[in-house]
Structure 1
């Protein structure tokens, strides 16, 4: 069962990377790629559609008239969105960090910015600290790699975040 899940996740990543490369090759502009931070699969969370909708609205609003191409869909491993943005790469990354950090549901958004060479730009490239764990506020990557929280703990916390975030009405 776990192997099937891993294979699906890897297939989805490969499919997404191929699509991203096509968009970058076609437009030669920064690419914003959105997925949701919903461990265990989006289908486990009621309200995922609303979370995705809020993320799409936030990205649309942040880049307004500079969107050259947009596509949202449910891929092999969940909802995803793609925007080609006609702005400086640095401005795009700062804009997406702002969305992730300020939006009430932003912690559930995984917004990558990809340059013309196909490389993802990280917060560290801007001397900005990595994202914090949803549960304990330590470095999220450390908690993920160290498996410090159970799937049940994460699900409960995310369900709570979705409920509170949707209440705020952004």
Structure 2
């Protein structure tokens, strides 16, 4: 399920392409949830700027895939299906994992917090009935999408980083 870094496109994605890519991801997730009655782990890389598919994002993705597979093995959870692909929004992974959704979400949150690359991963757990609440940012405790959508002044978000 790993992606070859040397095959990265280095395409500078436009906002319309990014939005279409996200809609397409949501449609793929819907199909997977219909096919498997178990939770779906949707995994992407947080990549600022217009280039979402490069050697670095693919390496970060591959480390995340390895960590997710190790997590499932450690917990004794069966991965029923998995796939990796690259869209305009960068590397994407989907893993259907036979596990209690709440336990899976808590474990992926811990993985994001404990792994050295975890803050560069966006791991969502979806079920056929519902999606768990989005992760909150460390800074303001609002949904991460709130900060990403620039609802927060960038200086306020960047201050703790600098």
TM over 0.5: yes
Aligned residues: 139
Kept after mapping to 1: 8 A contact 2:53/2:91: no
Q: Which has the higher helix share?
A: 1
| Aligned 8 A contact 1:42 1:48 in 2 | no
Once the two structures are superposed, residues 59-87 of structure 1 have per-residue CA deviations (whole angstroms, 9 ceiling, x without a partner) of 11111251001001111221000000101
Q: Find the aligned partners of 1:18 and 1:44 in 2 and give their Cα distance.
A: 21
State the alpha-carbon separation in 1 of the partners of residues 31 and 146 from structure 2: 33
Q: Is 2:81 aligned against 1:69?
A: yes
Distance across 1 between alignment mates of 2:54 and 2:133: 27
Post-superposition CA distance 1:128-161 (Å, at most 9, x none)? xx232xxxx4445554322414xxx7xxx7xxxx
CA distance in 2, matches of 1:123, 1:22: 21
For 1:24-35, list aligned pairs within 5 A. Answer: 24-35=33-44
- The 1-side partners of 2:50 and 2:82 are apart by 24
Alignment of 1:1-170 (within 5 A): 5-43=14-52, 47-64=56-73, 65-117=77-129, 119-122=130-133, 130-132=136-138, 137-139=139-141, 143-144=147-148, 145-149=151-155
RMSD: 2.5
Pair 1:55–1:41, CA change in 2 (3 A): farther
Q: TM-score, normalised by structure 1?
A: 0.72
Contact 1:41 1:78 (8 Å CA) reproduced: no
The unaligned stretches of length 5 or more in structure 1 are: 125-129, 158-170
Maintained 8 Å contact 1:73/1:80: yes
